Amino acid sequence: MAKDGCCSTTCLKNVLNFFNLIFLFAAVALVIVTVWKLGNQTELIDLTSATYSVLIDFLIVAGILLFLVSFLGCYGVIKENRRVLLVYIFILLFIVLLELMVAFLGYVYKENVDEELKVNLNRTMLESFGVDEAKTLAINVMQRKFSCCGAVQFEDWRYSVWKTSNMTRNLVPDSCCKTTTTGCGIRDHPSNIFYDGCLEKMEDEMKNGLMTIIFVGLSVGVSQIIGIVLGIQLYLKLKEEIDINELRRILHNTYVIQ
């Protein structure tokens, strides 16, 4: 029989199931927030390093695993199955480590994203526009989204492969235009195109996304540590009760034999 009190088996089961319910909702929120960020930046990811995309993928995997392990935890609690609880604890620990790793890598990447974009964005725009279909789409999306033109300034396009190879009469891509129409980039007057570069706006977008990744990874990961502690306590409590019952059985058999 479970003892009464805050550390009783019944109390631990109720509290752990409550946290499993929280984990269930947290998992759904984690996937929704991450996919929303990914959905907002799908095309832009082609202009970044693989690190950003991998961090998002890891968070989605962590959310799916957390969703599934919540049900496993509930089953282990209801059935008082120590083996299931042990699997639950280890999977939860793995998810926590994954989320904390994502948060750490997100922080490190955030500190370096400025330099990476300064080195790579202008080169990608000058060398890949009109050549690489995915990057061309990403650049057009970026310029329309941020109302910008070129990496640092609109004049950057004069030195691009797209322009120097005589692929167009346009001075800038049509996505630079304030009102996008086919061929509108033939004029680079400020009344027709955006003069601001895309670099700073892209940096802000990336940093905001990384801050979301860091916050989600840390907040969900830290809350799961409570679940691990409760799971261990319940596992030990069930083991203790089994040991006590076994001891009582031995003592009872000894008394009957005597």
Is residue 157 over pLDDT 70?
Answer: yes
Is residue 258 over pLDDT 60?
Answer: no
The predicted pLDDT at position 168 comes to 80
Spans of all domains in the chain: 9-246
Which tens digits make up the pLDDT trace of 181-215? 999 999 999 999 999 999 999 999 888 888 888 88
DSSP secondary structure code for residue 198 in this structure: S
Rounded CA gap, 121 and 196, in Å?
15
The predicted pLDDT at position 50 comes to 77
Is residue 173 over pLDDT 50?
Answer: yes
Residue 1 — very low, low, confident or very high, per pLDDT cuts 50/70/90? very low
Q: In the chain, count H helices and then E strands.
A: 6, 0
Confirm if 31 and 63 have CB atoms less than 8 A apart: yes
User: Which three-class secondary structure string do you get for 232-245?
Assistant: HHHHHHHHHHHHHH
pTM here is 0.78
Give how far Cα 115 sits from Cα of 99, 110, 168, 218, Å. 25, 10, 31, 25
